[in-house]
Amino acid sequence: MGQVYHLDRIAVVYSSRDSPQPGRAAERHLTQMLFASGAGLTSPTAGIPSARSSGGEWARSTPRRYDTDSSQIVAEHQQAWSRYWAGADIVLLGDEKAAKALRFAIYHLGSAANPHDDRVSIGARALTGEAYKGHVLWDTEAFILPFFVLTQPSAARALLQYRYHTLPAARAKAGSLGYRGALYAWESTDTGEEATPSFSLTLDGKLIPILSGNQEHHISANVAYAVWHYWQITGDDGFFRESGAEIMLDTARFWASRGSLEEDGYYHIRCVIGPDEYHESVDDNAYTNGMAQWNLEYGAQTGQLMAERWPERWKELTRQIAITSDELAQWRSLAKAMYLGMDPATGLIEQFRGFYELAEFDLSRLEPLTTPPDVLLGRSRVKGAKIIKQADVLMLLFQQWERFPRVVHEANFNYYHPRTAHGSSLSPAIHAAFAARLGQLALAERYLSQAASIDLQDTMGNAAGGVHIGAMGGLWQAIVWGFGGLQLQPDGLAFDPQLPASWQQLKFRLQWRGCQLAVILSADPNYLTVQLAGEDAMNVGLTNGTTIRLLPGQQAKARQVAGCWSDWEVRLA
């Protein structure tokens, strides 16, 4: 009684990348740490192999002395978190529930990525649970990566390098199915080989085949899209030249072999699964075709750009993967011929061939939807109905916003959102972002609240499998791209803010090519204040307003009255 006992628990982690016998190497490392600190041991364990570095920063060969005073380690830990929060935090005043969910998401996102290890990526539940067994899906590139690109580019780079290291497996997968180029695994692990299970057990005990590993091919375009946007936003030429370009080219090459130019003059991609996984083996899925079209165009652009800017590397690449200028021209013409299923009169895009012929189903009949409709109604009924699992056409339009006019955004949102069941956690945040961009703010708030509840209220009933890290990335996108109205410009960033009147303030920070931009928005009155730190100037613009060249250390403010933005008022921060 009366004495204070201090217990430290030390964990040492080795993987098979660090040593052929990771268990023994960890034991040896731990023993050396304790021995070095004189913590009561007489000799290091004999015969235990030493750690073999695999080249990553994560591999450790020199045990750090274990200090019985851990305050230094705790202080370093706190500093690292403070630095992280300073760049990534979002302040949202006026919606406490969303604010809490956002910070919960930012905490988990920061914990999930490792900027020091480019051989790993983020599994669908990060490291917080066993659902999806740690497998990496499109969640990383399409939902999570934008957060890292704009707040912690070193983590984004490491995540993309993981895809570069797994390119050989993607080439092998394409080859094994009779295609050219690179087809990334739908579920990927350390080697990048396909890890999607072939069967799964339903809640009522039936064994059902999982076709995603064979048919969900949009993943290749998701990786390419992420590479291009990382490069545009960070200006990291080294990454693009040495790794990214190869991904762009080999994924474009895959799409050129995946479809066929048919008698009607269109390029068709048949037998796929789009993001709406309730409908399998479909032809001309809008999301897949639209993303493939983008990939073909930007693959061709990559070739041209490499030849102009980095002719030496281009020469090396053309030798290595035998690309010719004829192949680039072929990609451009296939992109032009891509079938998109858009009605020119209304702008409505058919989700896949035959979607309009499916049965209508009023999803409001199932409200409140606490069990996915494929479980409630049965898989075959859902397959025969216009019931969509998650944003599909809308995901395409969200990611390629600037390529489509407003009438297309509106027509498709109004048609598809009532038919979407949000059977995937990835869906509500994208709907929130979409609705916010269209100014449909009541709906945007409803979807934001749905996205914010997934983990904190376990509304999908599967939180025990781990947090839905993709949905968390989506939540961040809903705020920054949706309500904040972020748009990428060739020489900076622009905003089209759409804030609910009840939000007093929304504040976030973004990184763009080494510049740090603080963005502060308020709803009523509508103000946008931007403040720049770093070495370089950048452009900041407003849709329906003007663009300013902001210098480091400057702050600029604009006010919106009756839908029109005032000129910027500039002062030193």
**Amino acid found at 37:** S
Q: Which residue, 467 or 521, has its beta carbon nearer to ligand IFM?
A: 467
CA distance 529 to 557: 4
Task: Determine if 426 is a binding residue for ligand IFM (CB under 6 A).
Answer: yes
Give whichever of 170 and 523 is closer to ligand IFM, judged by the CB atom: 170
* Bridge partner residues of 572 (DSSP): 554
139 lies in the site for ligand IFM, by CB under 6 A: yes
CB of 470 to ligand IFM, least distance (A): 5
Q: How far is the CB of 349 from ligand IFM (least distance, A)?
A: 19
| Residue given tokens 């702050």 in the structure block | 555
Q: Which of 249, 233, 275 is CA-nearest to residue 424?
A: 275
Tell me the one-letter amino acid at 215: Q
Which residue number, 146 or 275, has a Cβ lying nearer to ligand IFM?
275
Q: Which two tokens stand for residue 32?
A: 């050396």
Q: Which amino acid is at 281?
A: S
- Determine, following the binding rule CB under 6 A, whether residue 424 of this chain makes contact with ligand IFM: yes
Q: Residues 392, 290: contact at Cβ < 8 Å?
A: no
Residue 513, judged by CB atoms within 10 A of its CB (0-12, 13-18, 19+), counts as middle
327 is an active site residue: no
Q: Which C-beta is closer to ligand IFM: that of 160 or that of 426?
A: 426
Count residues contacting ligand IFM (CB under 6 A)? 10
**Which is catalytic among the residues 194, 216, 246, 277?**
277
Query: d(Cα 135, Cα 258) in Å, to the nearest integer?
Result: 25
Per-residue binding string, ligand IFM, 97-136, x by CB under 6 A, is: ---------------------------x-------x----
- Choose, by CB under 6 A, the member of 35, 138, 148, 239 that binds ligand IFM: 138
Q: Are 124 and 65 in contact (CB under 8 A)?
A: no
Rounded least distance, CB 65 to ligand IFM, Å: 42
Instruction: Compute how many other C-beta atoms are within 10 angstroms of the C-beta atom of residue 341.
Output: 20
Contact pattern from residue 217 through residue 256 relative to ligand IFM, giving x for each residue in contact according to CB under 6 A and a dash for the rest: ----------------------------------------
Q: Which of 153, 373, 470, 482 binds ligand IFM (CB under 6 A)?
A: 470
Closer residue to ligand IFM in complex, CB, 275/482 = 275
The number of residues making up the chain comes to 573
Q: Is beta strand 492-495 parallel, antiparallel or unpaired with respect to 538-542?
A: parallel
Nearer to ligand IFM, 408 or 426 (CB): 426
Pick 278 or 512: Cβ nearer ligand IFM? 278
Q: Does 137 bind ligand IFM (CB under 6 A)?
A: yes
Min. distance of Cβ 251 from ligand IFM in angstroms? Answer: 18
- CA 511, 512, 518, 522 dihedral sign is negative
| Radius of gyration, CA atoms only, the chain | 25
Shortest reach from residue 178's CB to ligand IFM, in Å: 25
Stretch that binds ligand IFM, among 137-145, 341-349, 523-531, 536-544 (CB under 6 A): 137-145
Closest CA to 274 of 474, 487, 453, 420: 420
Distance CA 524, CA 501 (A): 6
114: amino acid identity, one letter: N
Q: Quick check: 287 binds ligand IFM (CB under 6 A)?
A: no
Among 317, 124, 129, which Cα is nearest to 219's?
124
Contacting residues toward ligand IFM, per CB under 6 A: 124, 132, 137-139, 275, 277, 424, 426, 470
Catalytically active residues, by annotation: 277
